[in-house]
Amino acid sequence: MKIGIIGSGNMGRSLGILWAEQGHQVFFGSRDAAKGQAVAEVAGHATKGGTNDEAVAFADVILWTARGILPSNLLSKPEALNGKIIIDCNNGDIPEGFEYPAIIESLAEKLAKDVPSARVVKAFNTMAQEVFELAPEPLRNYNVSVFVAGDDELAKKTVMQLAEEIGFVPVDSGNLRNARLIEGLADFIRFIIIGQHKGGYATISVNVLPAAETQRLGGRQASSLK
């Protein structure tokens, strides 16, 4: 795959290197072409670097790491994203005291509204960047979930494959509206890691359990609750 990175900071550099290690062609984009090129030089694996516009022109799949910055404000031709997959890994600012506001519209939905002909997928926002250092091994042993939400099924499948390749367990999380839930989940994870000073990096793994063979607690009774 041809993957373009928008914003060559911590997330862009880490995921770009991991995908390049898997044999994908990666272009590190930046507001400063020299920075993109410098990141590519460090990354190796025949990666390239330059401007964000060049990254979009190069790629079929784009990782968008510029928090809260919309394509119409960052790219000279936002329509160059039409038909392309955009992975939105962003989370909101952490407010004072972790008093997060309710998420009415997710960052991913705002991105999709700005470029309605692009195929936006929410993913990779619920784990700390430090976790990527463990990828793909020994990460694979820990079954860490990547929650993947989007309205385009094929785009979602592509992103799930990219997650699997680097040692995560992709979890199909429904349509893009569910990015509201996933961003809320990331807010909670950041509270646990940073706010509760647990040490290390908390992650989430979805485990699907079998039903118990006996129902000694009475089983689930009919309820009027939805």
Question: Least CB distance from residue 125 to ligand NAP, whole Å?
Answer: 4
Our CB check for ligand NAP shows the closer of 173 and 209 to be 173
Q: Where along the sequence are the contacts to ligand NAP (CB under 6 A)?
A: 7-12, 30-31, 35, 65-67, 69, 74, 89-91, 125, 128-129
State which residue has the least CB distance to ligand NAP. Answer: 9
At how many degrees (to 10) do helices 179-190 and 107-114 cross? 140
**Closest distance to ligand NAP from the beta carbon of 100 (Å):** 13
Residue whose CB is less far from ligand NAP, 119 or 147: 147
Q: What is the closest distance, in whole angstroms, from the C-beta atom of residue 161 to ligand NAP in the complex? A: 20
- Shortest Å, Cβ 147 to ligand NAP: 12
Which of 59/66 has CB closer to ligand NAP? 66
Report the C-alpha gap between 16 and 168 in whole angstroms. 15
The Cα 158–Cα 20 span in angstroms is: 16
For residue 126, report the phi and psi dihedrals to the nearest 5 degrees. Answer: -105, 15
| For ligand NAP, the closer CB: 42 or 211 | 42
Among 192, 186, 156, which Cα is nearest to 174's?
A: 156
User: How is residue 94 written in tokens?
Assistant: 């952490």
* Cβ proximity to ligand NAP, 34 vs 154, nearer residue: 34
Residue 213 Cα distances to 197, 219, 221, angstroms: 39, 11, 17
Minimum CB–partner distance for residue 6 and ligand NAP (Å): 7
Give the separation between CA 223 and CA 204, rounded to whole angstroms.
30
Nearer to ligand NAP, 30 or 158 (CB): 30
Quote the least distance from Cβ 158 to ligand NAP, whole Å: 19
Helix (H), strand (E) at residue 51: strand 48-51
Q: Element (H or E) spanning 61, and its range?
A: strand 61-64
